Amino acid sequence: MSNRSADQPFVMKFLIIRFSSIGDIVLMTPVFRCLKKQVPGAEIHFVTKASFRPVTAANPYIDKFHYYDEDLDLLIDALRAEQYDYIIDLHKNFRSLRIRRALGKKTYAVRKLTFQKFILTRLKINIMPRVHITQRSLDTLRHFGVKNDGRGLDYFIPGEERIRTEDLPTSHLSGYIAIVIGANHATKKMPVYKLRELCARLDYPLVLLGGSAEAAEGAAIASLDPIRIYNACGKFQLNESADIVRRARVVISHDTGLQYIACAFNRPVVAVWGSTSPALDVEPYYGVPAPGTPPPYRNVYMHLWCQPCSKYGNKKCPLGHFNCMNQLPVEKIAEAAMELLKSQ
């Protein structure tokens, strides 16, 4: 029950916690939508890191934002004043536990499956429940009668943060494939020589996406054909890159945030996996498909005995060979991309 007085409109205040990262936040966006639309009087507040403000700032299902910027005590003081009814903990780490204990409110937390992931990545025994992380996030709302509406992920780009027509080469305005070459961890990324080989196989306009850290790599790849391959790495902010993904015919991506943003815009995705894998229940997500509908994505990875070796990624291959990427058949990636392109 709400703790508001009788003369106030019925409001049930929820605090949802997810500090990072881009992909993880996008994967939980159905929680905001389903809670807001299915629970009358739901007022939703969201806590995340200040650096991830652009990911949800335009989300219409969130009523108020609270940002963590290295001062947890200050954040907790602000949250205490809100008098929440419930906490939905979708991060379940030390910081979120401190918030929960400080506020002392009834909490529903995501099944993080730490033990199952450890067994998978270390002992290579798969006891994962085969329940996607998005569904597990929605399962935290069962007590309130909230169900998966099947509509998939959300991503909202403010109008002023969309790209202009002149931001893309004229040669790409009729359509292009976006290739996300970046990732937070090195073992999630294809080496430059593999990306060059992939681009050589794709006879179609290409846009390379990544941060400033990938700008030099993007330049080395684009040098194959500077007209057909546009290096956008480091040239755009997050939401501008998200808009480039939104406009793409097909998106090829490592296991990183823009892959899931592509899913939110219902763009066909070729997901390329290295040290992580779909076995971690984090593959591309488009909601509940209609019966008989083919999936709008393809997973490409080596199925090696050592995959996945990490639930997040590593700085380098633990075994030293990096076969999950060095032996990856890029022709399969190219074939999958062209197949998805032709199916539109």
CATH of the domain at 240: 3.40.50.2000
pLDDT, tens digit, 9 for 90 and up, residues 284-337? 999 988 888 888 999 999 999 999 999 999 999 999 999 999 999 999 999 999
pLDDT of residue 128: 97
* Together in a domain, 58 and 94: yes
* Together in a domain, 115 and 179: no
* Together in a domain, 17 and 116: yes
- Does 8 score more than 70 pLDDT? no
* Together in a domain, 135 and 271: no
* Together in a domain, 34 and 74: yes
Assigned domain for 4 exists: no
> What sections of 177-270 are H helices per DSSP?
192-201, 215-222, 238-247, 257-264
What's the whole-number average pLDDT of the chain?
A: 96
**Listed residue (314, 193, 203) closest to 255, CA to CA:** 314
pLDDT of residue 6: 54
Domain range holding 222?
166-342
Assigned domain for 106 exists: yes
pLDDT of residue 24: 97
| Residue 225 C-alpha from the chain's centroid | 30
* Together in a domain, 174 and 214: yes
* Together in a domain, 188 and 39: no
pLDDT of residue 140: 98
* Together in a domain, 140 and 172: no
DSSP characters for 43-104? Answer: EEEEEEEGGGHHHHTT-TT--EEEEESS-HHHHHHHHHTT--SEEEESS-SHHHHHHHHHHT
pLDDT (average), residues 107-136: 97
Task: Count structural domains, the chain.
Answer: 2
> What sections of the chain are H helices per DSSP?
22-27, 29-38, 53-56, 72-80, 94-103, 114-118, 133-138, 192-201, 215-222, 238-247, 257-264, 323-326, 330-342
pLDDT (average), residues 110-133: 97
* Together in a domain, 218 and 97: no
* Together in a domain, 52 and 91: yes
* Together in a domain, 190 and 70: no
pLDDT (average), residues 234-259: 98
- Tell me the angle at which helices 192-201 and 215-222 cross, rounded to the nearest 10 degrees: 40
Confidence band, pLDDT 50/70/90 cuts, at residue 5: low
- Does 7 score more than 70 pLDDT? no
Q: Under 8 Å CB-to-CB from 141, ≥6 apart: which residues?
A: 31, 34, 35, 88, 108
